[in-house]
Structure 1
Amino acid sequence: MATKRLRDSANYNENVRNSILDKRVTSLFKKAEELSIVLSKLVTHEDYLQKKVDKKEEQISKLEKLNEAKEMEILFNQLVEGKSIDELDAREMKGLLKLFAQKGTIATLGDGSSVESAQKEGNGVNVEDDGHFKDLD
């Protein structure tokens, strides 16, 4: 609700002017408080959304790593079956080296014919000379 403007303040006494000023100041403080409440809700909502985005990015990162590991497992099996190492690009070579380091497998893949194992403790999987996995239960 709009208040009347003071056109001729000389006609009003000091008390009236002070009461109008007090009402305006009170109104401004009330509006400032409402604005701060709205802004704090927006900040809270923004924090919530940022946490959700971070969580989804972490899930995507995990899935990408899992996907790469599975690709390297498939590539490793293809090499064991006779695929030439010359057909690999740099990313595949790097991924295979990472896979070998994780599995503890040392491979001689000149022509894909011989694969030997150097099993780490607690690995639970052994690669035999014919290239097939054997579970150690």
Structure 2
Amino acid sequence: MSATSAPITPEAFLVAIKELELEQLHAEAARLQNSLYHLARSNIALQEFQNDPELKEAIADNEITIQRQKQRVQIIVEEIQRRGFPTDHVVWGNAVDGPNGEGGSADTQVGGGQQGEEGDPMAIARPEPPARAREGEVHTDDHGDGGVYL
């Protein structure tokens, strides 16, 4: 992000996602969860160098981004619920382990009102690929629009 641009506000994000189809909402939630996973892993790696002022600033910036992205995932979950769809399957994954193993690796489910660590409704999780993708199968859609699904 450049120094001259500001992130979209939660209100503007909500307006933007109202136009998305359900599949797109799920994809955006998964993209955000993947980003959250990598930001958390980066911060864990950077903890070793927190005496460096630049790296300390990077950790703080990542924490701000993590909070913003968690909020966006929650907004997506609420939009899916508003549309009358269940959210207990929105994002599945494994929690990020801390530097000493804290945080565990228990499966974490986002949505459906489950709470993460310390009551955080948006535990940082790594999305797992669908079983078919893990098996290396390639699937095409049956709708004739030429999409390929891994």
TM-score by length of 2: 0.28
Identify, as 1 or 2, the structure richer in helix. Answer: 1
Higher RCO (CA 8 Å, separation ≥ 6 residues): 2
Larger radius of gyration: 1
TM-score (norm 1): 0.30
